[in-house]
Chain A
Amino acid sequence: MIEQTIHEIWGRELKLSDFSDHDDFFALGGHSLIMTEIQKAIAEKLGVEVPMDELFRQNTVHKISTHIGSLLAVS
């Protein structure tokens, strides 16, 4: 569920349809401005504030979804 939402956000912001949840954000052509849009969309859609440093570290859909899942589980 989270992973699907994040995948949709990435697809929209990166303007890509064909990519895997294990692809590296930057290898897909992502840059920091796109990441700030993703940060904003995650806050709006999932109600979670994810720091930019975390988004840079968890640089695949799968990794960031797992991270957000653990944040939501704690709260």
Chain B
Amino acid sequence: MVLCGQNVQLPAEPAVHAVVGSHASRHPDRIALTHGTGELWSYGRLDARANQFAHFLRLQGVGRGSIVGVCADRTPELMIAILGVLKAGAAYAPLDPTYPEDRLRLMISRLARMDLIAVTPETRELVPGGHLLDLVELGPRLDPLPVTAPEVRTRGDDLCYVVCTSGSTGTPKAVTVDHRGWYNLLNWLCTEYRLGPGSGGMVISPLGFDITQRALMLPLFAGAAVHLLPSRHFDPRLAYRLIGELGARAVHCAPSAFYLLAEHEMAGGGEVLRELDRVFLGGEPPAASRFADWARLPGNRATLANVYGVAECTDISTAHVLSDYESYLAGSVPAGRPIHNTRVLVLDDGLAEVIDGEVGEICVAGTGVGPGYLDPAPEDEARFVTVERDGVPVRLHRTGDRGYVSATSELMVVGRVDAQVKVRGMRIDLGDVETAIRRHPGVRDAAVLALPDARGQTELVAAVLPANGPIEGRGLRGDLLRALPKGMIPQRLVEVAEFPLSPHGKVDRRALARRLRHDGDGARVL
């Protein structure tokens, strides 16, 4: 079964930052960026500063093929760094300032080509290693540099960003995206949802997610303002207030973040959300029961879109605009139809098409299929395959998601082929978490499961076998906090005397899940 998106011609050399630069030269006085209610940047000012940083980077030898890290809160410096890196011809790698030092060190080691890391006074102490460029401290050295863009020719297949995702062995995977794919995505969003200078968006998601790269760049690509949530951690009450006060028109977030905003509004917080133009939900399947009442409020004018995709294929491959809440409550929200220049195929293990309505692995072909991983393990490299279709070689990405095509020709996602899960929008390989738990000296073995919590939302539960004597829960949690991003730490740690085994001698995860749901059979919660 194949779903085809519309074919649309892209510029010969699509460079995302060049679009932002052209808005700046035509409308330098328009607002490009806000940071809370106190700080406004015009297009002219933001573009000039990013150009100066780009010149500075060029003087450091940065150019096509370079990767520059960016570790910053949602501040103007973050946007200056990103635009400056792109204008210098390089790709940027977001480094989330909420991650522990050990995790950042692992990520930096994966980004082998990276030496320079842009930071701010608030984040420089957090970054272990690399040559740090503090954007505030550098100010006086940037001032004399040209405010016009450096002469750099960016090609469509040049990398624009690299995001690190969880990997099964405990080492993050570095996923690359190129300008052609990103341009195609942003151009599709602008066309499909008629975005323009009035379509300012609030950025509330964590820096390391691919959704955040889109949320940061889309308003500037459309000639609108990007509103940066002035908080290191997601703050639903602050976000809600600022969306209203700044008049943001769009939000991109994981459904689990959106539930909190919608519940705040339903509890009498105001009418801010229903005045939005667009809400883009992505990163995990939305549970319609959590916002259906809000969506059906009289006078609600916001359009909700569920967007589906993987980082390897430039963030979004399909989208569905929500309207039929009865069917979502009875079933699930479709992932929808492909975006421009994209094909979605549902294939069996032999990479042959399944028949209509049957479940198979979701594979993506087209402009969004990215260049792949930096320094990949062989099993990761195998996720990108070239197959012959109608006598023509086609490059495919096997997403690892399982799904089918509905009677209304929409993609439906039903699960995974492997041990990867989504928890509150974060992509987590369970092996990554298990590896971290096994490093604790008191632990003999660990199995981590993703189970529904009391509200039906996914949580991580770890079953832990002690090495010798009872495990001290706070000590184990302390170790995990030093190793993993907070979103990857199991909500429940349960000490068990043994794992149920399958006839093949492997951990029987279904039986373990049953046992953990009831906390029974002598299990001890840590």
Please name 5 further chain A to chain B contacts, defined as beta carbons within 8 Å, in addition to the given A27-B474, A33-B256, A51-B231, sorted by A numbering. A27-B477, A32-B487, A36-B236, A53-B231, A53-B233
Complex formed: what's the CA distance from A42 to B237 in Å? 12
Q: Kindly list chain A residues whose C-beta atoms are within 8 Å of the C-beta of B487.
A: 31-32
Asked if A33 meets B477 with Cβ closer than 8 Å, knowing A49-B237, A51-B238, the reply is: no
Convert B476-504 into 0s and 1s, putting 1 for each residue whose CB lies closer than 8 angstroms to a CB of A.
01100100001101011100000000000
Complex formed: what's the CA distance from A28 to B481 in Å? 11
Q: B481–A52 contact, CB under 8 A?
A: no
Q: Kindly list chain B residues whose C-beta atoms are within 8 Å of the C-beta of A47.
A: none
Does any Cβ of A come within 8 Å of B115's Cβ?
Answer: no
Q: Kindly list chain A residues whose C-beta atoms are within 8 Å of the C-beta of B383.
A: none
Q: A31–B235 contact, CB under 8 A?
A: no
Q: Kindly list chain B residues whose C-beta atoms are within 8 Å of the C-beta of A49.
A: 237
Q: A52–B256 contact, CB under 8 A?
A: no
Convert B56-72 into 0s and 1s, putting 1 for each residue whose CB lies closer than 8 angstroms to a CB of A.
00000000000000000
Q: How far is the CB of A51 from chain B (nearest CB, A)?
A: 6
Contact of A29 among B237, B260, B491 (CB under 8 A): B491
Does any Cβ of B come within 8 Å of A58's Cβ?
Answer: no
Q: B478–A27 contact, CB under 8 A?
A: yes
Does any Cβ of B come within 8 Å of A43's Cβ?
Answer: yes
Q: What class of interface size applies to chain A in its complex with B?
A: 10 to 19
Contact of B234 among A28, A29, A40, A52 (CB under 8 A): A52
Complex formed: what's the CA distance from A37 to B492 in Å? 18
Q: B491–A27 contact, CB under 8 A?
A: no
Q: A26–B481 contact, CB under 8 A?
A: yes
Q: How far is the CB of B368 from chain A (nearest CB, A)?
A: 30
Contact of A56 among B233, B238, B473 (CB under 8 A): B233
Does any Cβ of B come within 8 Å of A39's Cβ?
Answer: yes
Q: Kindly list chain B residues whose C-beta atoms are within 8 Å of the C-beta of A26.
A: 477, 481, 486, 489
Complex formed: what's the CA distance from A57 to B481 in Å? 14
Look across to chain B and name the residue whose beta carbon is closest to the beta carbon of A34.
B491
Complex formed: what's the CA distance from A53 to B236 in Å? 12
Complex formed: what's the CA distance from A35 to B477 in Å? 17
Contact of A52 among B235, B486, B492 (CB under 8 A): B235
Complex formed: what's the CA distance from A29 to B233 in Å? 18
Q: Kindly list chain B residues whose C-beta atoms are within 8 Å of the C-beta of A31.
A: 486-487, 489, 491
Does any Cβ of A come within 8 Å of B424's Cβ?
Answer: yes
Q: Kindly list chain A residues whose C-beta atoms are within 8 Å of the C-beta of B45.
A: none
